[in-house]
Amino acid sequence: MWRNKKYRRRWSALLCYALLAGLLQGQNSPGVSNVAQKRLASFLRDPLPARTSAQEPPAFYSPDSLYQYIDGGADIFLLYDFQLLLHQNLKNAQAELNVDIYDMGKPEDAFGIYAAERSTRYAFVPIGIEGYRSKGILNFLQDRYYVKLAGSGAGADALLVPLARLLSQRIGGVRTFPALLRELPQAHRVQHSEQYMRKDPMGHAFLAPAYMIGYSWTSKESKLLISVAGSVAEARARLEQLAKHFRESGECVSAPELGEGGIRARNSYEGRLIARTQGRYVVILLEPPPDGVAIVKSVAQNLP
């Protein structure tokens, strides 16, 4: 076969086509509607601040192709049900910017990935629901989108804020944290400690998904974890699995003063906790303060 020039030409053409298809996969991700791509692209329509303009058409990445852009970081985005990424390079006379707009499908999943990447040490800015910045970067959360901006050049830092504000205005939609977080205690909350976990809260798959917040009621930080089950029966089953785990790894006793299914538990590597159910929720307080019983009961009463 290889002696036949016609077959060699056909094989070369097929190989080039395969390589080209792989390169273009990020430009037009299969399985993603043109409507979704056009919506993301509309956020970067002209005019843009400071005579900034796009250097080429935007690239789009789907769940199947995201690894081509962020190979080592794709898994955590996929864990939060990532839908579509727009990547765009912008430039003006003083700066070059990279814009990444992640469509996560749901506001809670956008919050989840945003919270997973932020640190309490960042400098936070009032853009979108919340944003943070440092030299050369500005990332923010809004509605179902996680927006990441990075710049280089003398004018990059000055351009990040106006561009972020313009994108926030065009995105619109939900500008509040998930509703459940607003029902939990505000006093003594460790700022920017809120998380939404789709996998293995406290290292236990059966507690997912869950919200977790840090509190400074005493010198030792406590954590409040709300496991969100699909039903009352499932919440009770989750609490029983947690109790079984502590009976096997440490100790666990009934605590009727806490309310529905209340328990007190401890082991050598997870420390102390108190927990109960409330409807389809499991309320868990790790390293509870002296008035932990009152806190757990109050939290349970305020859950929707």
What is the architecture, at CATH level 2, of domain 16-171? 3-Layer(aba) Sandwich (3.40)
Identify the pLDDT of residue 273.
98
Residue 187 has pLDDT above 70, yes or no: yes
Going by C-alpha positions, the residue among 110, 108, 109 that lies closest to residue 145 is: 110
Write out the E strands in 115-270: 123-125, 130-134, 137-142, 145-152, 195-197, 210-215, 222-228, 250-254, 263-267
Identify the pLDDT of residue 29.
52
Identify the pLDDT of residue 55.
84
Asked if residues 97 and 89 have their Cβ atoms less than 8 Å apart, the reply is yes
Domain 179-302 has CATH 3.40.1000.20: yes
Say yes or no: do domains 16-171 and 179-302 share a fold.
Answer: yes
d(CA 197, CA 237): 19
Identify the pLDDT of residue 155.
85
Coil/strand/helix, residue 90: strand
What residues are paired with 121 via a beta bridge?
A: none
Per cent of the chain over pLDDT 70 is 89
Identify the pLDDT of residue 31.
53
For β-strands 271-278 and 263-267, DSSP reports them as: antiparallel
pLDDT band at 10 (very low <50, low <70, confident <90, very high): very low
Identify the pLDDT of residue 1.
40
Contacts of residue 136, defined as CB under 8 A and 6 or more positions apart, other chains included, come to: 150, 151, 152, 156, 157
Identify the pLDDT of residue 71.
86
- Predicted TM-score (pTM) of this structure: 0.87
Residue 46 has pLDDT above 50, yes or no: yes
Domain ranges of the chain: 16-171, 179-302
**Average pLDDT value over all residues in the chain:** 90
Residue 19 has pLDDT above 70, yes or no: no
| pLDDT mean over 91-107 | 95
Q: What is the pLDDT of residues 132-186, one digit of tens each?
A: 998 899 999 999 999 999 999 988 999 999 999 999 999 999 999 999 999 999 9
Q: What is the pLDDT of residues 250-280, one digit of tens each?
A: 999 999 999 999 999 999 999 999 999 999 9
Q: What is the pLDDT of residues 188-221, one digit of tens each?
A: 999 999 999 999 999 999 999 999 999 999 999 9
Identify the pLDDT of residue 100.
98
Q: Which two tokens mark 212?
A: 């977790």
Question: What distance lies between CA 208 and its chain's CA centroid?
Answer: 14
Question: What distance lies between CA 40 and its chain's CA centroid?
Answer: 18
A 10 A CB-CB count for 111 gives 26
What are φ and ψ of residue 153, in 5° steps?
105, 165
Q: Which two tokens mark 121?
A: 């040490």
